[in-house]
Structures are given as C-alpha cells and as structure tokens.
Structure 1
C-alpha cells in the first residue's frame, strides 16, 4: 500500500501480521527493505517500507523462483501444518468467488456444474438433507480399514469431477443428487487425494452396489462417532476433516 507520507519518496508500505514473513522477504528477495516497525494498535502489527522499484525487482525475483506444483503442500512443507490449515480455511471463503449467488440456494446447480474444480485422484459427494443430516455409507467387510465413510471414487474415462462424484454417490449410496457446493480442501487419504462436493438428494434411494453394506442419515455428533470407528488413521482423520468442513460450510450458508 502507499500511504500519504510514502508518495514523495515513491515508496510503499509492506504490512504483515507475522514478523518472520517480513524478515524472510528481506533476506531472500528485498534486502533494500527498511527496518521493521511494530504497532500493537494496528490490524497489521508489523510494517516496513521499500521503494516501488526495489519491490518490483523483488517480485520479479520471487516469481522466477517459484517451482512448486501444489501451493498447499509447499506451505505445509516449508511453514508447517498449522499455516497450511489456516490457508485452507481462507480458501473456504475464497471459493465463494467462484459461485454465482444462486448456487447457495438448496435447489440450484448451475454454478457448480460450470465450476473449474482442482485436480484430484478421486471425487465424492457429501450428501445432506434439508434437516441438516449427513449420509454415511458402511463399507462392506471393512475394506481398507474403513467402517463408515462418504461416497467417492476415481473418474471413469473422460468424466468431469462433477460427473464422477455424482456417479459414485449413486453406485455406493443409491442416490441421485444436485450439487450445491464444494468443500475447500484437497483431502488426502491412504490411496490419494479427494475433492468433495456437497449435494442434496433427488428422489428416493435406489439399490446400491455391493461395496456398501448399508447407509444411514445422521447428525453431526453421530457422524463423528461413526467415522471414528474406521481403523485406518489416515482415512479416519481425512473423513473427520471432511465432516468438520461440511458443517463449517453449512453454518456459513445459514448466515447468508
């Protein structure tokens, strides 16, 4: 940003809530940056100044150094799981920019169908009822250490993510659905990553495949307990994260 006092020197004020972020910027890309000041009365506690030209050169250098293939994984690798999780919550809100206003209505799918969805190994649907319950499926024979989980699977041929998720829900849980949302993360399980849509059921339940022993509509507390029965720790943690993000998503929709 350029404050009034910056204009005569053609400099910019760089703000941060984390001092180490400014220190890293100075060390790696912007050695000409001024000293870091601190103010506990500001929403951004740490600030420093740099000339416009120095900052421009630093940005060119920074862009030239980018070599990661996945931002979230890079953040977790360099800055830790907590920072990556925080950015994931930010993505929850930013996803709203990809949706048309009517996509937040329970019975609208237009924006979701047109949405560009991040790449993942699998795609699934977390089905919710108008009463706010969630559909879980019990995995036949406890395959892979899973007990109760969500419907998901890998694309078949040239299916879109939306088509894959909807087909897997029908095959594994017996429901047609309308997709009304997208959860904010790429969730890592034992066999790869999964993107989950949020959907609502359309019509009565149909027969489902042999991969599922039974399905059950449950509230958040019961869902948490059933998902905890999975013995594979990676899959269990993933599904608990999905459940947490689902109810965060539902709470945000209710506020609208």
Structure 2
C-alpha cells in the first residue's frame, strides 16, 4: 500500500510470513514524523541503502490501523496539493504533483459490477403497449418476510402495496426501482433478481425487482407524502393486507406480483437458511489477475431460487461465503474473504443460464491453475452447497 499524507510518503508491505508490517520511506524524516505524531510503537528506523526505499521500520497491523484512523481525523484541508506545499515544502509538492498528473486521465480499467439498462433482465427494452413504464421493488429480509407500505390517505383505492414509480429521464430500470424504494420506504436495498413478467395497472406497465434489506434497516414509522407507514409481513399476511385495497385491478395486480416474487424464493418464509447478504461476512474484491471462462450451464427456476439464497458459514469447517447480487454469484473463501469465483447469470427460455465465470488467478490468493479442476469445484459448490444444501 502506498500512503500519501501531509507529513510523508510511505510504502507498507508484509514481508514473508512476518506478522509485522514493514513501513518503508524514501526519507528518515517521514518515518520520524509518523512515529512522533501518530504511531509511537513504530520500531526504530533502519537504513537499507541500495534499495528503492532507503529507510524502513516495522509495526503491527492493529497499531497502523489505529494510526490511520487518527490521520484521517486530522484531515482539515480542502486541497491536498496546496497542503503539501505548506506542510512539506514546494519541492515535495512538485513531486506529488507529478504523480497526480500521471494519474489524471486514468481509465476505469478494473470495473466493479454495476449492471445498467437491460443487461440480464427478462423483459423487452420497450413496452409493447401504449402505457407508460414503471419499475419497483418487492423487498424482503434475509428470512423472506415482505416489507409492505401503507399508501398515504389510501390514494386511488390502494391500502397496502409495493414501492413503484415511473422512470425519471435518463434512469435505467434498476435506478428507477432503487430510487422508488428509497423514496417510498426510506431504505437502500440490494437487488437480488428481476421478477419475470409485466404487471398492468390503470395507466402503467410495471416491472419489479426482488430486493434484500436487513431486518432492522427500515424505520417502520417512516412516512412521507406517499407512504403512511411500513410493516413486515409473512406471505399470508401480505395477501390479507393487499386484499384491503378497493382498487380491484390494482389489488389483483399486486397479488400477482406477490405470487411471482415468492416463486423466486427457495421455500415458504420464514426460510430455514437465511438469504446471504454481502455484509454478512468478510469479502475481498476480485483482482485483475483473473481468467474468464464461458459457460452454458442452465438451471430451473427452483434451482435458481436456491442459488440466489447464497451461503453463510456457521462453522469453521465450512469453507465458503457465497452471496448473490443482481445476476452475479460471488464465491469467497470464508477464512480469508478472498473471491475465487464470480458467476454471471442471465434469463433463458427454461429458467436461467450461467454464461460466464471469472476465476481468481492472483498467485498470492489462489494457487490453482487447472481450469478443468476449477470448473469442477464450482459445479460442486453450486450443486451440493447451494442447490442441495439444507
């Protein structure tokens, strides 16, 4: 790790199997300032001439983490380059400026997964009718309970329903659905999967996403000009709540949405094994050193429901943490959080198809090199841990 601060520049690495971190610097003064003001437990500086970093010292990861917290709390400047000129001098500011210039037009060359538009969605890009398009979310907690919203003043005959609304200019379907959930329920949810089908209302055709949020995330007293309050409900309770709507067409539509959304779950809520969420366990990003392999494996809707659930380990012997987000299955080693596989799915005629997998090839994270063995391992994980897991 390179660390640029207003008092010095450092390179932090782990040497061999040492449990200490080595903090390296081009000047002794930088290490002295780090030790004197933020990291008193830093070892004495030692010279290491003839290398890229002539000075170095050691510290524990915990101590460095605490020091970095204090360094962050001391950020009191609006422009880093200007602050370097005042704190370390104009010569150092010029050196840092060259680094800034070299990185100025850096492309986004290692994209994280941010699906947009209609990528991996089971709908046509444009509606086949003259009605306007709307998008929304059916929000569940990890055990499959449904978050319902009571409509303010029971507008248009709706009593309890889901969050939904029309697109703003330039929005993708996902952006619209997430925004409507945020505006009408007060939460930021995570998309699990698109819900197949289109649901006609009086003036719109609505498409929905199945979304996940933590049980404690919503404020059930949340209210605004569109929402009176929220409630968690079992499927049967949700049916009774929807049945209170006097808008007959809207009532039938919401019941159909509920039924279709529940078909994406592996079992009737409450789920015996909870849906996995990214924040349930440690996870590291997929490195650029990766292998991309095309796939043609197909899964039924019921099999896909068990895949979407993911897997959270409960014992040290369980080696995997797996979660699903918007068309991608993320498979991490539970002990280290290292991402080994990322599997991409898309809808197909018979259900869903795994069409591509990214396999970690960072030699410091994953030592396997045989593509066939990797694919066999992935198949075993999906088949035995997810589809046929308890």
> TM-score scaled by structure 2?
0.36
- Answer whether contact 1:112 1:180 (CA < 8 A) is retained: no
Indicate which of 204, 208, 227 corresponds to 2:242. Answer: 227
1:130 aligns with 2:142: yes
Q: CA deviation at 1:210?
A: 1.8
CA deviation vs aligned residue, 1:47-67 (integer Å, no higher than 9, x gap): xxxxxxxxxxxxxxxxxxxxx
Residue correspondences, number:
148
Q: Which has the higher contact order (CA 8 A, sep 6+)?
A: 1
SS in 2 for 1:176: coil
RMSD: 2.1
In structure 2, C-alpha distance between the alignment counterparts of 1:199 and 1:110, rounded to whole Å: 17
Cα distance in 1 for partners of 2:138, 2:257 equals 8
1:249 to 255, 264, 278: 264
Q: TM-score, normalised by structure 1?
A: 0.54
1:115 Cα deviation after fit = 2.7
- Give CA deviations for 1:115-141 in whole Å, capped at 9, x if unaligned: 345345100000011011011100001
Structure 2 counterpart of 1:205: 218
Unaligned residue ranges in structure 2 (runs of 5+) = 1-111, 128-132, 267-301, 308-386
**Structure-2 residue corresponding to 1:184:** 196
Match in the other structure for 1:216: 231
Is the 2:142–2:213 Cα contact (8 Å) retained in structure 1? no
Displacement of 1:162 after TM fit?
Answer: 0.2
Shift >4 Å, 4+ stretches: 109-113
Written as runs of structure 1 = structure 2, the 5 A alignment for 1:31-110 is 110=113
Pick from 148, 153, 156 the counterpart of residue 141 of structure 1.
153
Give the helix-richer structure, 1 or 2.
Answer: 1
The structure having more radius of gyration, on CA atoms, is 2
Change (3 A) 1:112 1:237: farther
Which structure dedicates a bigger proportion of its chain to strand?
A: 2
